Amino acid sequence: MSKQADLIVGLQWGDEGKGKIVDHMAQTHDYVCRFAGGHNAGHTIVVGEKKYALHLIPSGVLNPEAKNIVGNGVVLSPVDFIKEMHQFENLEGRLYISDKAHLLLPYHAEIDRARERMKGDKAIGTTGKGIGPAYGDKVARVGHRVGELHEPRKLAEKILAHFEMNRPVFEAMGVETPDPQQLYHELVEYKEALEPYITDTTLLVWKALDEGKKVLLEGAQGTMLDIDHGTYPYVTSSTTVSAGACSGLGISPKAIGKVTGIAKAYCTRVGNGPFPSEDFGEAGQRLRDNGHEYGTTTGRPRRCGWFDAVAMRHAVRINGVDQVALMKLDVLDGFDEVKVCVAYRVHGEEIDYVPYDLEDAESVYRIYKGWDRSEGARNFEDLPQEARDYIESLEELIGCRMGIISTSPEREDTIVR
């Protein structure tokens, strides 16, 4: 029987600190595979003096032994991908792109931004990268796949026909039809840069699993941004939960082994949409400052608030989480008290599950005594008693063990229980 893959998934609204855990695990895995999202995701990795910005290329790129797969569930912007590739040398033989991944082309980003402008105060607050329109085209069956780059002439014709058919829509949004020659030349450039990496990645992952290789599945964004299970319509357009790894790579649910869910010790969200445990006061600002909560992809300040145990219980169940990695515990250091959302009040009624619409949900808080310093702790026993109580109480509330606790950005400052 083939081995199972390990999976990393975000449990909140993205930005949980998956990077630190994925980078660490990528050192010990033979394959690292992205299964959803696009260049809306992002994290920075510092190795010695050098800084690398990763948006689409899996984190295994920094392990010279690892092979990196961009799965069919991803939407790939060739321009941005090629830029990202330039940070690295010798990618051939260790980077593979699914021929079934969908292309995200410049007009998708233009449409994304035009739609946001038109929505005014109802805007989703997207990253403006074109994610929604690219996935929209995929589902509407008018998208283009990476495999079509093999024949740029044919692809250019199809793109132009799409513009012709939808002319009034594009015009209303102020999106210009590409110049045929320029479009063709761009597609040829994409082909030349990407062709060596394009392949059937499903077969590759199957083979890796059959050979007993260590395979890591790297999720992007978080559960509350999932197209089905998040706070729709204030979500991204992909399946960010564990199940997305099956469809986004072509593996069966039985091929998924240990699921590690990543959560911060508090909560953040970028963009609009409900966030019941958001703190608009001093505490929220302090979390933002202490946690350096500004977007990696867009630089936007993140909205900050308290750990939401109700949403987390929902996420643990949906993703089949075996262990939670609790990140950035040290950001809570020095607070007199720390709050946790333990239920929602919706129209006067208290509920302990995530309802259809979180818009009207208010947080019901439990208050914990704060602690001075957890920063740098490497053993659970070294944490202040109040921090241990906080973690043990969270485990009970969410029904899952916190097997990893991170107490600073440093790789070594990690408690493994």
Q: Whole-number minimum distance, CB 401 to ligand IMP, in Å?
A: 25
User: For the chain, what is the HEC assignment?
Assistant: CCCCEEEEEECCCCCCCHHHHHHHHHCCCCEEEECCECCCCCEEEEECCEEEEECCCCHHHHCCCCEEEECCCEEECHHHHHHHHCCCCCCCCCEEEECCCEECCHHHHHHHHHHHHHHHHHCCCCCCCCHHHHHHHHHCCCCCEHHHHHCHHHHHHHHHHHHHHCHHHHHHCCCCCCCHHHHHHHHHHHHHHHHHHEECHHHHHHHHHHCCCCEEEECCCCHHHCCCCCCCCCCCCCCCCCHHHHHHHCCCHHHEEEEEEEEECCEEECCCCCCCCECCCHHHHHHHHHCCCECCCCCCECEEECEEHHHHHHHHHHHCCCEEEEECHHHHCCCCEEEEEEEEEECCEEECCCCCCCCCEEEEEEEEECCCCCCCCCCHHHCCHHHHHHHHHHHHHHCCCEEEEECCCCCCCEEEC
Distance between CA atoms of residues 103 and 152, nearest Å: 13
Among 11, 12, 15, 204, binds ligand IMP (CB under 6 A): 15
Identify which of residues 29 and 43 has a Cβ nearer to ligand IMP in the complex: 43
Identify which of residues 68 and 237 has a Cβ nearer to ligand IMP in the complex: 237
Identify which of residues 18 and 144 has a Cβ nearer to ligand IMP in the complex: 18
Q: Whole-number minimum distance, CB 243 to ligand IMP, in Å?
A: 18
Give the active site residue among 39, 43, 55, 314: 43
User: Using the rule CB under 6 A, is 414 a contact of ligand IMP?
Assistant: no
By CB under 6 A, the count of residues binding ligand IMP is 19
Residues 262-281 touching ligand IMP, rule: CB under 6 A, are 270-271
Q: Whole-number minimum distance, CB 267 to ligand IMP, in Å?
A: 12
**Does 150 qualify as catalytic in the annotation?**
no
- At 269, list the tokens: 């969200």
User: Using the rule CB under 6 A, is 201 a contact of ligand IMP?
Assistant: no
Q: Whole-number minimum distance, CB 385 to ligand IMP, in Å?
A: 33
Residues 226-255 touching ligand IMP, rule: CB under 6 A, are 234, 236-237
Q: Whole-number minimum distance, CB 133 to ligand IMP, in Å?
A: 9
Distance between CA atoms of residues 399 and 177, nearest Å: 52
Q: Whole-number minimum distance, CB 43 to ligand IMP, in Å?
A: 9
Distance of CA 4 to the CA centre of its chain: 22
The closest residue (CB) to ligand IMP is 271
Identify which of residues 148 and 226 has a Cβ nearer to ligand IMP in the complex: 226
- Lay out the site mask for ligand IMP across 123-142 (x = CB under 6 A, - = otherwise): -xxxx-x-xx----------
**Does 15 qualify as catalytic in the annotation?**
yes
Which of these ranges, 10-18, 20-28, 70-78, 159-167, lies near ligand IMP under the rule CB under 6 A? 10-18
Q: Whole-number minimum distance, CB 38 to ligand IMP, in Å?
A: 8
Among 62, 187, 225, 316, binds ligand IMP (CB under 6 A): 225
Identify which of residues 133 and 152 has a Cβ nearer to ligand IMP in the complex: 133
Task: Please report, as ranges, the residues that interact with ligand IMP according to CB under 6 A.
Answer: 13-15, 40-41, 124-127, 129, 131-132, 221, 225, 234, 236-237, 270-271
Task: Just list the catalytic residues.
Answer: 15, 43
